[in-house]
Amino acid sequence: MNKKPWQSLDARTTRPTLETIARVAGVNKSTASRALRGDTAIAIETRERIQQLAAELQYEPNASARRLSYSRTDIIAFTTHSFVRSRGSADPFLAELISAISLEAAASSLDMLLCVAEPGPYEIDVYRRVVGGKHADGFILMDLRPDDPRLPYLCAQGYPHVLFGRPSLDLEESRYYPYPWVETDNRHGARVGAEHLIGLGHTRIALVGCGAEYICEIDRFAGYQDALATAGIPYDPTICTDGGWTQDDGYRFTRALLERSDPPTAVLAVSDVVAIGAMRAAMEMGRRPGPDFPIVGFDGLGLATYVTPALTTLRQSIPQVGRLLVQLLLSELREAPVPDRHILLQPELVIRASTQGDE
């Protein structure tokens, strides 16, 4: 029986190097390196033979040498304002998004650097440390704000990045941004959610947890107003709460609304997490979410299926968002053109028991 190439190696040999691959394959080191990178200038038979040999020898490239050679870290940085919300509880939306991004990054042989950069005078310092120290090849940013100070800094540095969200309140202006972005159409989604409640016969619909700090919540507020205006329903600012993304916020705001002499009859929440807090408050106040008090969330988190009653929501595909963010950042790093660098995704209304009456 013919020996495999690796069977001729001393079992005590340390992990195989590029020189090992080249020697066993009978080629020079440069040819072996180019073949392993898939260089089409190397004959296909030679490429396949060297790649097969590398697999049999369980060869792993020297990451440090490769990074020095290509001035690359093979690390992408993901920044957020916080990994927890009130009372130290983890943010389930953020957990699902990080999972989606990390899976796609791993599939592309990339590592992730997680950074917390709270808004304020020292926010840009986090970005300066990563950029100046060359700790990552590029950024994925979220929580976009009007006049966000991070964007002019990264653009001035020419530092590759991709945004989850758009860089400006103006959609057409955002399409001229020099780096990629991915966004769920928050305005359209909130309008569809409000229209669903209007279609159930409600005219006094509270918007719970929607402030004016982030572009996404500004858009959701605008979509809510669009639906009211189209239906000829007067806008009542007293039943629209200002800010908040936690279950505590949803609970507190909704309870206060239901204690009024003229309470709302339905809720559109800024997120699924806020909606779940609103459901708890409604039940404590004697309103059954669904039959008595319809509630709609936004995001399509996995937990929305398992609460009781199951939550009607505007679902954005978080796995798809994660894949697109990594793929677009890779296209920037590789200077590879893509058909669309600015992607607006449409959310899907998923109707569940929280807006359904008794069977």
User: In the prediction, which pLDDT does 89 show?
Assistant: 65
Between CA 129 and CA 127 the distance in angstroms is: 5
What's the CATH superfamily of 186-317+349-355?
Response regulator (3.40.50.2300)
pLDDT, position 168: 94
Give pLDDT, residue 42: 83
List the domain boundaries for the chain: 5-61, 75-184+318-345, 186-317+349-355
pLDDT of 10: 45
Tens of pLDDT, residue by residue, the chain (359 residues): 454 443 344 433 456 788 888 888 888 888 888 888 777 778 888 888 888 888 877 776 655 444 444 468 899 999 988 766 555 567 899 999 999 999 999 999 899 999 988 888 889 999 999 999 999 999 999 999 999 999 999 999 999 999 999 999 999 999 999 999 999 999 999 999 999 999 999 999 999 998 889 999 999 999 999 999 999 999 999 999 988 888 999 999 999 999 999 999 999 999 999 999 999 999 999 999 998 999 999 999 999 999 999 999 999 999 999 999 999 999 999 888 888 999 999 999 999 999 997 54
Q: What pLDDT is attached to residue 91?
A: 83
> Would you state the pLDDT for residue 117?
87
Token pair for residue 355?
A: 């807006």
Nearest in space to 82 (alpha carbons), one of 71, 73, 72, 93: 93
* pTM, two decimal places: 0.80
Kind of pairing between the strands at 342-345 and 312-315: unpaired
Question: Is 75-184+318-345 a CATH 3.40.50.2300 domain?
Answer: yes
Is 75-184+318-345's fold the same as 186-317+349-355's? Answer: yes
Q: Decide: 244 and 213 in contact? Cβ < 8 Å.
A: no
Give the model's pLDDT for residue 275: 96
Return d(Cα 111, Cα 105) in angstroms, integer.
6
- Give the distance from CA 16 to its chain's centroid: 38
Task: Please give the Cα distance from 347 to 359 (Å, whole number).
Answer: 27
Per-residue model confidence (pLDDT) at position 7 = 39
pLDDT the model gives residue 90: 73
Domain at 5-61: CATH code: 1.10.260
Reported in sequence order, the residue ranges of the chain that DSSP labels E, i.e. its strands, are: 75-80, 111-116, 138-141, 161-164, 181-184, 205-208, 266-269, 295-299, 312-315, 342-345, 348-350
